[in-house]
Amino acid sequence: MKQNKCAKLWNMAADWGVITLGIAIVTCAVFFFLIPSQLSVGSMSGLAIVLANLIPLPVSVITMALNVVCLVLGFLLIGNEFGAKTVYTSVLMPVLLGILEKIFPNNRSIMGDQFLDMLCYTMLVSLGLALLFLRNASSGGLDIAAKILNRYLHIELGAALSMSGMVVALSSALVYDVKTVALSIIGTYLGGIVLDHFIFGLNTKKKVSILSSHVDEIRKFVLEDLHSGATLYEAVGAYDYAEQREFVTIVNKAEYAKLMTFLARVDKDAFVTVYTVHEMFYRPKPGRHEGKKLDN
């Protein structure tokens, strides 16, 4: 009982630690790349950068105000869907921005070029957001606005988030030149692509389908050497109605390389098809491969 409680506390601490790290990375991306370049890449911080040109307040204060407004609207219009994680990240980010503003009062562009600042921001902020999303958290702000659009205008969540981001990017036209507006729009678009790469790239696996006369050897290798699971299907060839067994397994990248090497050695004539898998939902069978995490 005590061990379970300690494990639960450790998992909770690790969860919040990763969320804090994710927000810290996002904050650094905003402060060191977005603010000096004056870009308005689709985020609440991007909107705060534009408003800072119209309101004599630091970006951190404007970001806090915008996040608080979004949280209040979210609780009023949607309900208690956001939870402690969204409140925590929405408050922590402007606080960290305020600390960085005190430490680096004369913050200037590290790269000395708007385009390079946009690329560096996109890579860094996508990494931070991926850490948040993998822990079922978000940075608040536009995520809340997207949920409101989803609830009342019935716009898909992904489309609503993209629309919100583009509106923020276009808002830079109020105070900046055409080049800054164009880079803000491009950065918003690239951000979605890079974020998908970070999120899905971390979980990508390979589904391998094999037709071979050496199924028993392949099965033994996958189960005993790769410690993965597999499924056998009865297959019938359309040309001559020959019956075969189709062997299907899901493996990670390292296991995939080992499996292909094994197949090249055991059966060079095997017919293999490979698919990319981004997500899996399964319940491991009790007592099987104890201590090992099965892939399927």
Domain housing 213 = 204-277
Instruction: Decide: helix, strand or coil at residue 151.
Output: helix
Instruction: Check whether residue 239 and residue 93 sit in a common domain.
Output: no
The per-residue pLDDT for range 238-250, each reduced to its tens digit, is 888 888 899 999 9
Is 53 a member of any domain? yes
**Token digits of residue 76:** 């009023």
Instruction: Check whether residue 70 and residue 194 sit in a common domain.
Output: yes
Task: Decide if pLDDT at 272 tops 90.
Answer: yes
What is the number of structural domains in the chain? 2
pLDDT in the model for residue 292: 42
Backbone angles phi, psi at 125, to 5 degrees: -70, -35
Instruction: Check whether residue 21 and residue 143 sit in a common domain.
Output: yes
Rounded CA-CA distance 215/149 in Å is 52
Instruction: Check whether residue 178 and residue 219 sit in a common domain.
Output: no
Q: What is the mean pLDDT of residues 264-274?
A: 92
Is 293 a member of any domain? no
Instruction: Check whether residue 158 and residue 19 sit in a common domain.
Output: yes
Q: Name the domain boundary from 160, 183, 202.
A: 202
HSE-up (13 A, CA, CB side) for residue 168: 29
Is 285 a member of any domain? no
- Which runs of consecutive H residues, i.e. helices, occur in the chain? 2-29, 35-37, 44-51, 59-77, 83-103, 114-134, 142-153, 157-171, 178-203, 215-220, 253-266
Is 94 a member of any domain? yes
The residue among 121 and 191 whose pLDDT is bigger is: 121
> 């979210």: which residue's tokens?
74
The per-residue pLDDT for range 246-262, each reduced to its tens digit, is 999 999 888 999 999 99
Q: What is the mean pLDDT of residues 195-208?
A: 76
Instruction: Check whether residue 149 and residue 33 sit in a common domain.
Output: yes
Instruction: Check whether residue 140 and residue 250 sit in a common domain.
Output: no
User: Does the global pTM surpass 0.75?
Assistant: no
Instruction: Check whether residue 125 and residue 241 sit in a common domain.
Output: no
Q: Nearest CA to 138 among 146, 147, 129?
A: 129
Rounded CA-CA distance 200/87 in Å is 25
Beta bridge partners of 251: 206
Rounded CA-CA distance 128/203 in Å is 16
The per-residue pLDDT for range 49-106, each reduced to its tens digit, is 999 999 999 999 999 999 888 888 888 887 766 678 888 888 999 999 999 999 999 8
Instruction: Check whether residue 191 and residue 213 sit in a common domain.
Output: no
For residues 31 and 107, the answer to whether their CB atoms sit within 8 Å is yes
For residues 96 and 29, the answer to whether their CB atoms sit within 8 Å is no
Mean pLDDT of the chain: 85
pLDDT in the model for residue 82: 63
Q: What is the mean pLDDT of residues 11-40?
A: 90
Rounded CA-CA distance 203/196 in Å is 11
Instruction: Check whether residue 69 and residue 180 sit in a common domain.
Output: yes
Instruction: Check whether residue 142 and residue 212 sit in a common domain.
Output: no
Is 292 a member of any domain? no
Return the percentage of the chain with pLDDT > 90, whole number.
Answer: 39
Q: Name the domain boundary from 202, 223, 258.
A: 202
Instruction: Check whether residue 211 and residue 198 sit in a common domain.
Output: no
Is 115 a member of any domain? yes
**CATH number of the domain encompassing residue 234:** 3.30.70.120
Is 127 a member of any domain? yes
Rounded CA-CA distance 4/159 in Å is 41
Q: Name the domain boundary from 176, 202, 228.
A: 202
The per-residue pLDDT for range 214-233, each reduced to its tens digit, is 999 999 999 999 988 899 99
Is 227 a member of any domain? yes
pLDDT in the model for residue 296: 41
